[in-house]
Structure 1
Amino acid sequence: MALSRDEAWEKVALHPDPTLEELFADDCDRVDKLATRLELGGDMPGILFDWSKTHLTDEILADFEALARASDFAEMRAKMFAGEVVNPTEGRAAEHSALRGVGKDSSVEEAEALRERMRLLVNALHEGAFGEIKHLIHVGIGGSALGPDLAVDALARDLPLVDVHVVSNIDGVALEEAFEACDPQTTFVAVASKTFTTIETMTNAQSALKWLADNGVSDASGRVIALTAAPEKAVEWGVDETRILPFAESVGGRYSLWSSIGFPVAVAVGWEDFQAMLDGAAAFDQHFRDTDGRDNLPLRAAFADLLYARIKGAQTRAVFAYDERLRLLPDYLQQLEMESNGKSVTVDGKPSGPTAPITWGGVGTDAQHAVFQLLHQGTHLVPIDFIASIEPGDTLDAAHHTILLMNCFAQGAALMAGKSSDDPHRNYPGNRPSATILCDDIDAATFGALIAFHEHRTFANAVLMDINPFDQFGVELGKEIAKKIEKGGERFDASTEALLKAAGVG
């Protein structure tokens, strides 16, 4: 007899709690069971996903698989790939995978047509159709900036075809920094906004246009490319329709890197690498779509996430990239995971129980000298993901990369094993979980696969928790109050009123 969702959760919570060292001692095949290498296919590198240093066991995995069945995971996954509504509060599909060629046929065809339009514009820019272009200032915020910033930083370090600067903060210091690095005579501006009404983005865009005009660019608006799901708004704002790159309304901002929002990535690295990024993500889409149970890597990761967040009470999850090219990945994952799954009610509007932990992290080895004290000897349970690459991203002495990898692997081993001491100040309790994602290399295909893995992991978590990962109403209230302040005529709490008076605002 099939279990209900509540019954499945109860079974997951009833397991004994052996230490990680005991789990390894009791099962000599543990690494083979929980460390899986995924080949992306063709000439693309592979990735090893090692979840053996977590508290997952055969029995817990079996009960999580029962929870997945009780949660209609396979059905929800099929609905997403079929382009059906999986965002019920907004009545929308979530078709980011279709942008990579995996999804409903008509959506894939539409995405291919829009991508070809973008390819022609990218190639025209590279071939000098707009004159000599050396710089691109990409203006966006949230998903319109975090993904492009991460991808450009990761993939365009070696002589980018065009120097790209991503600006998201409304603080003018950020935009001025980009101005200082660019020559207005050889600069284009990309304005990325799904609605083309986002106040931070449009204010920055207007200031960028003024900077171009003030510095002798006669047709400043002719230097603008719009990336949006509302092309009519871009036309109203003054962008010529030949320089508008649309994307579908069914693509959420934090899932939009694969759409025209990825324009700055293609401009920086070239179309071939941008396509390779899509291909790597598509390979992971196919794995996620076609693999069931614990062998499905994003689902397995979600099992571990929920074991710690829901059963063991972990309130945070840390991500440490032992690769400078991925230094912005924790920032990107913060939005992906916390904006998606930072909810408190189920799809039906009922209290949900614990949902997304706080995602945070940093770069190894820097983080070892900053936050690892707490991870080894503090009082918080913090499951950790380590991400590293076998191939280095530099051409220096091999000792650099060897030391980097040794530190990465040593931290996972030390967190698990600990070290007993009669001196309580030098005692390490151990039994602290971690997972390791080891890439053959950080190239465009691997990067795409990594991002797709985390997108699907986020979706799998949401389905098991019965929440909607595709709306984000929580970001709206502060914006509404800011508009009320701008409009004037309303009173707020005494503290806010005092702050507005002190700053001379409103």
Structure 2
Amino acid sequence: PAEDAGKFMVDGQDTVADVREVLGRIYDFANKVRSGAWKGVTGKNIKTVVNIGIGGSDLGPVMVYEALKPYADAGISARYVSNIDPNDMAEKTKDLDPETTLFIIVSKTFTTLETLTNARTARTWLLNKLQESGAIDGSDAKKAEAVAKHFVAVSTNLEKVEEFGINPTNAFGFWNWVGGRYSVDSAVGTSLAVVLGPERFEEFLKGFHAIDTYFAETPFEKNVVVLLGMLNVWYRNFYKVASHAVLPYDQYLHRFPAYLQQLTMESNGKSVRWDGTPVTSETGEIFWGEPGTNGQHAFYQLIHQGTQLIPADFIAFVNTPNPTKDGDQDVHELFLGNYLAQTKALAFGKTADEVRAEGTPEEIVPARVFSGNRPTTSIFGDALTPFSLGELIALYEHITFVEGTVWGLDSYDQWGVELGKQLAKQITPAISKDDDALAAQDASTQSLISFYRAHRK
């Protein structure tokens, strides 16, 4: 946030000044779109922003958009396309008006396979739809104007951006020291600044700053962030826990577990330390979850009575933007009653004597006993706001860092992503046409490709 901007030097460069310059440009752009000063090629205001990215360029923005929907007040909605599967783009654009749609292409290098493939698909969709409706003619000049007014970029490769047809002045950069899964509060969040507005995006950043400051300045023995990270290490290494549930009791946070999967598992899912030596203990956890109360009717059985210990984080808020009554019953209080009941049940369980006291037949008493003593962490806030969401994300970012530091990992690389990318480039030609490439594959891959060729319509 502007009032907190001092100096933070990286390789002799004042990163704070760089960040504020980019944020200022993003805010100017967002205000133009929100006010109607930025218009599409036919003069209509933008009503839908489509963010095209993958990994951290998608998971963070879509999670925040879903979480803060009550704050999207400018009549502009957002959609997020990440998967190279054509079905994703088709479903996200099938009911859109191209005259009121703006695409934001998020790729630091502007070479990411999935993102650029989807970007080209979106460009083709836009131009075809505009020409089919007669909104533009088929001249190169008009098509170039349409692309320039309906596409912007989040990238540092201005040459590639311009080749695509985007004006480089409408490209917002971020730096190599900004990792994808830690980037939602950078230019990667441009779609959020448009939909929520610069003021609320600033509140979002202030939430991050509050936790960053707390983490940096609070002594370790009193530092809740450090203690939560050490608890996770304790469970992983001394209780051999492999799985960690994240259970938000707020439907607006329904994408938060998926966001944490990338943050935690891509950061600490490693078997080699930062110095190249093999680790000597278990690292990383499988993060998963669903919003309450949905999960209660799906997988809580395993958490309560399964044979494996599963630490669970329960996240809830005192206030809701949608207060509702069912007769005299406050529905949000009914919801929170479930939240509190689950943490109590996991902590204290239910003894055989308590089960018998209910008149339960002896033969089914064992099945109704709950051992309790199953670990939970309750994160209970006042309300889900841009500020508190920034705090929540920063909390888990620093927990992830603490774990990685204890295990000696580099929590900021992700080489596990690369091998599949490399092999995909080798395998793709073999799928439809290259028999030599097919012959070079292993027997299992050959069999799968042969099945594809035989059944392709």
Q: TM-score, normalised by structure 1?
A: 0.78
Can you list the C-alpha shifts for 1:139-188, whole angstroms capped at 9, x where unaligned? Answer: 01100000100111111235542110011111122111221232111011
Judged with a 3 Å threshold, the aligned counterparts in structure 2 of structure 1 residues 83 and 487 are, in CA distance, closer, same or farther, namely farther
The match for 1:133 is 46
Q: CA deviation at 1:400?
A: 1.4
Amino acid at match of 2:448: L
Q: CA deviation at 1:424?
A: 1.3
The match for 1:194 is 108
Contact 1:165 / 1:178 at 8 angstroms: preserved in 2?
Answer: yes
The match for 1:109 is 17
SS at structure 2 position matched to 1:385 = strand
Residue in structure 1 matching 2:70, options 146, 154, 157: 157
Taking CA–CA contacts closer than 8 Å with sequence separation of 6 or more, which of the two structures ends up with the larger relative contact order? 1
CA–CA distance in structure 2, aligned partners of residues 500 and 290 of structure 1: 56
SS at structure 1 position matched to 2:30 = helix
Cα RMSD (Å):
1.9
The match for 2:139 is none
The match for 2:300 is 372
Judged with a 3 Å threshold, the aligned counterparts in structure 2 of structure 1 residues 429 and 141 are, in CA distance, closer, same or farther, namely same
CA–CA distance in structure 1, aligned partners of residues 290 and 116 of structure 2: 31
Can you list the C-alpha shifts for 1:193-239, whole angstroms capped at 9, x where unaligned? Answer: 12211111111111111111011154332111101233333223322
What stretches of structure 1 move > 6 A for 4+ residues in a row? none
Amino acid at match of 1:126: R
SS at structure 1 position matched to 2:283 = coil
The match for 1:324 is 251
CA–CA distance in structure 2, aligned partners of residues 304 and 82 of structure 1: 31
Amino acid at match of 2:338: N
The match for 1:393 is 321
SS at structure 1 position matched to 2:290 = strand
1:411 aligns with 2:337: no
Amino acid at match of 1:363: P
* Identity fraction in percent: 38
CA–CA distance in structure 2, aligned partners of residues 164 and 401 of structure 1: 27
Q: CA deviation at 1:260?
A: 1.1
SS at structure 2 position matched to 1:287 = helix
The match for 2:421 is 479
Amino acid at match of 2:347: M
Larger radius of gyration: 2
Contact 1:137 / 1:165 at 8 angstroms: preserved in 2?
Answer: yes
Residue in structure 2 matching 1:502, options 446, 451, 456: 451
CA–CA distance in structure 1, aligned partners of residues 447 and 13 of structure 2: 56
Residue in structure 2 matching 1:425, options 367, 383, 386: 367
Greater Cα shift, 157-166 or 377-386: 157-166
SS at structure 2 position matched to 1:189 = strand
Contact 1:325 / 1:393 at 8 angstroms: preserved in 2?
Answer: no
The match for 2:146 is 220
Amino acid at match of 2:417: V
SS at structure 2 position matched to 1:181 = coil
1:184 aligns with 2:184: no
Amino acid at match of 1:220: A
The match for 2:355 is none
Can you list the C-alpha shifts for 1:111-133, whole angstroms capped at 9, x where unaligned? Answer: 00111011111111122222211
The match for 2:189 is 262
CA–CA distance in structure 2, aligned partners of residues 297 and 322 of structure 1: 21
Judged with a 3 Å threshold, the aligned counterparts in structure 2 of structure 1 residues 83 and 105 are, in CA distance, closer, same or farther, namely closer
In structure 2, runs of 5+ residues without a counterpart are 40-44, 131-135, 137-142, 353-361, 431-435
Contact 2:8 / 2:15 at 8 angstroms: preserved in 1?
Answer: no
Q: CA deviation at 1:82?
A: 5.8
CA–CA distance in structure 2, aligned partners of residues 160 and 203 of structure 1: 32
CA–CA distance in structure 2, aligned partners of residues 232 and 249 of structure 1: 17
Contact 1:390 / 1:441 at 8 angstroms: preserved in 2?
Answer: yes
- Pairing 1:8-23 to 2, within 5 Å after superposition: none
Judged with a 3 Å threshold, the aligned counterparts in structure 2 of structure 1 residues 359 and 83 are, in CA distance, closer, same or farther, namely farther
Residue in structure 1 matching 2:267, options 336, 340, 362: 340
SS at structure 1 position matched to 2:272 = coil
How many residues are aligned here? 409
CA–CA distance in structure 1, aligned partners of residues 296 and 444 of structure 2: 39
Contact 1:194 / 1:253 at 8 angstroms: preserved in 2?
Answer: no
Q: CA deviation at 1:446?
A: 0.4
Contact 2:27 / 2:198 at 8 angstroms: preserved in 1?
Answer: yes
Amino acid at match of 2:272: V
Amino acid at match of 1:117: R
Amino acid at match of 2:126: L
Contact 2:323 / 2:330 at 8 angstroms: preserved in 1?
Answer: no
CA–CA distance in structure 2, aligned partners of residues 239 and 458 of structure 1: 36
CA–CA distance in structure 2, aligned partners of residues 157 and 214 of structure 1: 34
- Pairing 1:261-300 to 2, within 5 Å after superposition: 261-300=188-227
Q: TM-score, normalised by structure 2?
A: 0.86
CA–CA distance in structure 1, aligned partners of residues 274 and 19 of structure 2: 29
The match for 2:403 is 461
